[in-house]
Amino acid sequence: GTSVPSPLMMAPVGVLGLVTPDQHGDIHGAEVSAATGVPFIGSTLMSDPLEDVAAARGDAPLWFQLYTPKNRELAASLVSRAEKAGYDAIVVTMDTWVPGWRPRDLASGNFPQLRGKALANYTSDPVFAEMTGPDPDLGTTVMTWVGTFGNPLSWDDLAWLRSLTDLPLVLKGICHPDDARRALDEGVDGIYVSNHGGRQANGGGAAIDWLPGVVEAVRAHPDRSEAPVVFDSGVRTGADVVKALALGATTVAIGRPYVYGLALGGVPGATHVLRSLQAETDLIMAVDGYPRRCDLTSDALVEVP
């Protein structure tokens, strides 16, 4: 029910902190949100505590993406902290409890968490502090994190997750209509269609191909037909945004483009990227004759063989 200036969001990006020279990319992402009004979804894997990120977001909506730890007390603590800090929703990622096969990361030895990077939400957490003991060295911190990361969630965990907070609960990584229906049956407030930017399962389907079926399942649900459907993966232009909206997405989350802007130009760079996407989206709808968001339907699209 929140009003926003455009149908865009900033998708959660783990290790975002590392893309800026000062290593505070998560805070700067929230500052971009404050400058544009585009909601920011902060990742569990931040370089700054979630409270500091929340303080930088101004009046823009802010969601917290949860990589659910194996330790339930730690999971509850992260969610509680997000709620107290003023986050507006919890986004539970379902498709990355274990990383996919990523040859580029393997070839470069790129796994910053093993160097203690992007673990600020853990090292600032009282439950995690109890797990590591007082004054842990880097190795203890990293191995404690390794031991709790990667919880293979099942439907049986959903009631417990729902019990942790009164905030809206969104499931991220839903790509099948049956999963969308069951999630809504179990009390989820929103569905997030995503294939994790295509980084998890090589050869998997494009998220936009799954979007219409998921939207149809949500809109036909007897009790939660108005649930929002967030979409990301592969969005690079305003034309991509318009296509996703025409296929029924409530809002479209941007990942790599704003990260590139943040890396190259800091807050002004990422702000420029988002405003450019907003402008292109507006102009495409205008020149194609769709003055309002509600006028845009799948009839606007023609499949090219």
Catalytic residues: 196
Query: Contact 155/180 with Cβ under 8 angstroms?
Result: no
> Do residues 167 and 83 touch, judged by C-beta distance below 8 A?
yes
Strands 190-193 and 251-254: unpaired
Q: Which two tokens stand for residue 11?
A: 């998708």
Query: Burial level of 295, CB count in 10 A (0-12/13-18/19+)?
Result: exposed
* Residue 280 near residue 237 (C-beta atoms within 8 A): yes
Cα maximum dimension of the chain: 63
- Local structure of 90: helix, strand or coil: strand
Q: How far is CA 237 from the centre of its chain?
A: 18
The dihedral formed by the CA atoms of 83, 53, 265 and 286, expressed in degrees to the nearest 10: 20
Residue type present at position 252: V
- Single out the residue of 198, 280, 278, 279 nearest to residue 239, CA to CA: 280
162 touches 186 (CB < 8 A) = yes
